[in-house]
Amino acid sequence: MVRKKLNQKTLRKQKNLLLVQIFLYIHEIFFFIKVIKIFEKWLQALGKLEYVTGKQKPKVECILCAIREDDKRVKSLKVYQDNLNFVVLNLYPYNVGHAMVCTTRHVAKYIDLSKEELIHTSRTIQGLQLLLDDIYSPRGYNIGINQGNYAGASINHIHWHVVPRFPSELGYIDITAETRVVVEGLDSVKKKIEEKIDGFLNKEFFENF
């Protein structure tokens, strides 16, 4: 009887030890996955970091003005332009379809925008959203401006970020961390948008505002 009790006690200990080992094994797996994700984030951020620090910046006074003028020294991802706004894809997108609505006139501060620019920009953002809805069907958007270096702006030319959001994402922190992994190439996104943009941002669309 004593031996039987000892055997049961030993079995319980072995069972508990096995459960602990399984728990530790699972914990190590999750830790390993987390480390991989961290490295992925670092790798995705490297290009943006080099750009912000100037290592990959084109030697132009204002990169958005250069894009507006089709300067060959900069990579242009422009998909639309009129006399008040132009739209470009972000070179380091936080999500597929991430675009920027820029003022055609070089303006550094929001308070210096004219009434016409403010109204026209609002309509341009609406049209861009309708276009992205049609192509990618996102579930939400982050729309915003960074003004000044201390606010996170790397370009001294006012522009609005329009970032589509999709299910199964971690949240807004992904955007502020600048570490998203984008699954579709910029050339593919640009082609899709260019094929449809005239149907959304056109004279009739702005006149019916």
Buried b (16+ CB within 10 A) or exposed e, 39-55: eeeeebbeebeebbeee
Cβ atoms 123, 132 nearer than 8 A: no
3-state SS class at 39: helix
Cβ atoms 180, 171 nearer than 8 A: no
What pLDDT does 39 receive? Answer: 40
Look up residue 157 and give its two tokens. 């030319």
Look up residue 99 and give its two tokens. 């675009």
Residue type, 81: Q
Tens of each residue's pLDDT in the chain, 209 residues: 545 555 666 767 777 777 767 776 676 665 545 444 544 443 343 455 454 455 567 788 999 999 999 999 898 899 999 999 999 999 888 889 999 999 999 999 999 999 999 999 999 999 999 999 999 999 999 999 999 888 888 899 999 999 999 886 655 545 544 455 556 888 999 999 999 999 999 999 999 88
Task: Please tell me the distance from the alpha carbon of residue 88 to that of residue 76, in angstroms, as a whole number.
Answer: 8
Q: Is the pTM of this model over 0.85?
A: no
